Amino acid sequence: MAGQFCSVIYFTPAFLLPVTRAMVRESKLLILYEATSAIDYKTDATIIDADRIRVLDAGRIVEFDSPKELLKNKAGHLRALVDEAADKEHLRRMAEGVDAPTYA
């Protein structure tokens, strides 16, 4: 990604400040470590609003595509995480481009 700005963030629930900073900076790359359903709504919206999402499991890439495409896979890792979210319907509509992201 030469010539492009990117931020790399290793995320645990105790470190929301770096995630917030990435959202404000509109970073091109956001890496979440051990992302779970414990993430707050703003972070969920940031992830779903991405152009592409790469999902890793045990250090291996298991999914890589747009959120819209990844959510079509009923057995997918991203879909499983979204299904656990309290705001899952809004996240699905965001991935489809129906709802706008709400970061407030």
pLDDT tens digits, one per residue of 10-44: 445 555 666 667 667 776 766 665 554 455 667 77
- Domains held by the chain: number: 1
Residue 54 belongs to a domain: yes
The DSSP line for 4-50 is: S--------TT-HHHHHHHHHHT-S----SS--TTS-HHHHHHHHTS
DSSP conformational letter for 74? T
Residue 64 belongs to a domain: yes
Residue 53 belongs to a domain: yes
Whether the predicted pLDDT of 57 surpasses 60: yes
Whether the predicted pLDDT of 61 surpasses 60: yes
Domain range enclosing 66:
16-96
Residue 20 belongs to a domain: yes
Residue 103 belongs to a domain: no
Residue 65 belongs to a domain: yes
Residue 102 belongs to a domain: no
Residue 34 belongs to a domain: yes
